[in-house]
Amino acid sequence: MRTFPPYRAQVVTEIPITTRAERERALAAAGYNAFNLPANMVTIDLLTDSGTGAVSAAQEAAATAADRSYAGSDSFHRFRAALSELTRYPHILPVHQGRAAERILFSSVLEAGKISLSNTHFDTTRANVELLGAEARDLPCAEFGDLDSSEPFKGNIDLDAVERLLTGPERERVGMVLLTITNNGGGGQPVSMANLAAASRLCRAHGVPIFLDAARFAENAWLVVQRESGYRDKTPREVAEEAFGLVDGCVASLKKDGISPMGAFIGLNDPELAQRCETNLIATEGFRTYGGLGAHDLDRVARGVHEVLDPNYLAARAADAARLADRAAEAGVDIVRPAGIHALYLNAGRLLPHIPASRFPGHSLACELYLQGGIRCVELGSLYLGTLDEDNELVTPAPFELVRIALPRRVYSQAHYDYVTDVLADIAKNPESVPGYRIVDAPKILRHFNLRMAPA
């Protein structure tokens, strides 16, 4: 299919162009941690797709006309109308970002000793479960662990494992099931509607609430239309609506498929649960008609969730991701298959076999992309997921050494992405020249944001 982005640029932002010497100095000053780099030293910023999307003129027009009334603003009514039309949940609570939605919902559903089951908990999601003294248990399907498998729905939850838990001795401990769509932790792999429906039936049969972590509801819907039989003739909106309808409610960051710089919401069917969440919301985020958000972001979201479901937009975005994946593979860099939409995951362990896990090949590749091309991205390997001893030496490596290249929405063109794969190809021509890295200083919690490294 021929496809192109269904928008054009009217306002642009200059990109910083730097020299290799400047980048070497900046990266050293940042302790070889991309999170410490000043953004004005980054040429192509692929650190995250969160809050980084380009807003439309229509979103900005709505933001300018936003109603900042404390209670019952028009902006809130537009926000709620857009989200209740999409989800059909009678209770819509705005929050400032996804992790606040998690904290508020989970504190009403879980308690110490309970278990949350998920295909994969996102990192803040896991933290919010664990802060309550509960356990976050990931039950990804078997294909999830095979990076090279092209199974279409590697984001699915392992239904047999869920059933075993719901019929076994731990049944009373299971507080909720949370399905992350798409499965961010696993390369942005989608969850099928069949898997979602089956998980929902199991939960209903055993009286356990089931929710979506729906940050990428539109991208999951697009991949269902492309890959799942029976959905070919549906629109992404119809698929998304069906997904929300299969569960009891959701938490969703709107910094991803809301295409908003800030925002999130909790959507719920159960009025009693919604009431408890609302009390917590008012005490910790803001009144129920703004929830910690500025009116402009309520309006940006109201338009953003509409724009994100445009099939032409989703087709163009998926095509960008697929082309990036193909060109990376042609350059000799293995990627996690099949390519998702919001990010490309590079298999750094395979590209840099001379660097042992203890010298962090994923981090090495991420640093090299910055040094050679000014490209910022993040390691998802042993640096992020491994366990360290007292001297910050690696004890247990992560199962894979990956690098995530995230794709901000509507920001970069194919020419920018071709530049990224050209830099990757240069690295892949001479991988032995890439050094490993050791940890100089690592805090105990939220390590990857704050650690300092040095070339080994």
Give the interface segment with ligand PLP, choosing from 13-21, 95-103, 367-375, 432-440 (CB under 6 A). 95-103
Is 215 a binder of ligand PLP (CB under 6 A)? Answer: yes
Please tell me whether residue 99 binds ligand PLP under the rule CB under 6 A.
yes
**Contact assessment for residue 278 and residue 34, using Cβ atoms and an 8 Å cutoff:** no
The SS3 call for residue 430 is coil
Burial of 444 (0-12, 13-18, 19+ CB in 10 A): exposed
Which H, E and C letters describe 165-216, residue by residue?
HHHCCCHHHEEEEEEECCEHHHCCECCCHHHHHHHHHHHHHCCCCEEEECCC
C-alpha 298 chain-centroid distance: 21
**Residue with Cβ nearer ligand PLP (166 or 214):** 214
Helix (H, G, I), strand (E, B) or coil at 253: strand
97 binds ligand PLP, rule: CB under 6 A: yes
DSSP track, 68-137: --SSS-HHHHHHHHHHHHHH--SEEEEESSHHHHHHHHHHHH--TT-EEEES---HHHHHHHHTTT-EEE
212 binding ligand PLP? (CB under 6 A):
no
Q: Which amino acid is at 142?
A: A
Task: Rule CB under 6 A: choose which of 177, 264, 403, 451 binds ligand PLP.
Answer: 264
Name the active-site residue from 215, 315, 318, 325.
Answer: 215
In order, the DSSP letters of 349-417 are HHH-TTS-GGG-HHHHHHHHHHHHH-EE-EEESHHHHSEE-TTS-EEE--S--EEEEE--TT---HHHH
Closest distance to ligand PLP from the beta carbon of 429 (Å): 34
Does residue 437 have an active-site annotation? no
Beta carbon of residue 155, minimum distance to ligand PLP (angstroms, whole number): 11
78 binds ligand PLP (CB under 6 A): no
Q: How far is CA 38 from CA 15, 30, 34, 221, in A?
A: 13, 8, 9, 35
- Please give the Cα distance from 4 to 11 (Å, whole number): 19
Stretch of 120-128, 150-158, 168-176, 430-438 contacting ligand PLP, by CB under 6 A: 120-128
In whole angstroms, the minimum distance from the beta carbon of 107 to ligand PLP comes to: 16
| C-beta closer to ligand PLP: residue 97 or 200 | 97
Task: Determine whether 215 is an active site residue.
Answer: yes
Q: Which of 121, 154, 255, 448 is catalytic?
A: 448
H and E: helices and strands count for the chain:
17, 16
Contact flag: residue 253 with ligand PLP (CB under 6 A): yes
* d(C-alpha 374, C-alpha 27), whole Å: 10
**Interface characters, 36-65, with ligand PLP (x: CB under 6 A):** --------------x---------------
Say whether residue 87 binds ligand PLP (CB under 6 A).
Answer: no
417 is catalytic: no
Q: Which of residues 285-344 bind ligand PLP (CB under 6 A)?
A: none
Contact of 262 with 226, CB cutoff 8 Å: no
Rule CB under 6 A: say whether 98 interacts with ligand PLP: yes
Q: How many residues can be counted in the chain?
A: 456
Residue 119 contacts ligand PLP per CB under 6 A: no
Cα–Cα distance, 361 to 350 (Å, whole number): 9
Of the candidate residues 3, 18, 84, 124, the single one contacting ligand PLP (CB under 6 A): 124
Q: Work out the angle between the directed axes of helices 271-284 and 98-109 (0-180°, nearest 10).
A: 130
Nearest-approach distance from CB 17 to ligand PLP, in angstroms: 30
Is 306 labeled as catalytic in the residue annotation?
no
* DSSP-based three-state secondary structure for 449: helix
Q: Cβ of residue 263: shortest distance to ligand PLP, in angstroms?
A: 8
Q: Does residue 220 touch ligand PLP according to CB under 6 A? A: no
For residue 141, the minimal CB distance to ligand PLP (Å) is: 17
Nearest approach, Cβ of residue 46 and ligand PLP (Å): 15
Minimum CB distance to ligand PLP, residue 254 (Å): 7
Q: Which stretch binds ligand PLP (CB under 6 A): 21-29, 56-64, 117-125, 204-212?
A: 117-125
421 binds ligand PLP (CB under 6 A): no
Can you tell me which of 108, 184, 200, 364 binds ligand PLP, judged by CB under 6 A? 184
Helix (H) or strand (E) holding 139: none
Is 248 among the catalytic positions? no
In the residue annotation, 363 being an active-site residue is answered as no
Is residue 114 part of the annotated active site? The answer reads: no
Count of residues that interact with ligand PLP, criterion CB under 6 A: 15
Which two three-digit tokens encode residue 407? 């794709």
Please compute Rg for the chain using Cα positions. 22
Chain residues binding ligand PLP by CB under 6 A are 50, 97-99, 122, 124-125, 180, 184, 213, 215, 253, 255-256, 264
Mind telling me the catalytic residues?
70, 122-123, 213, 215, 256, 448
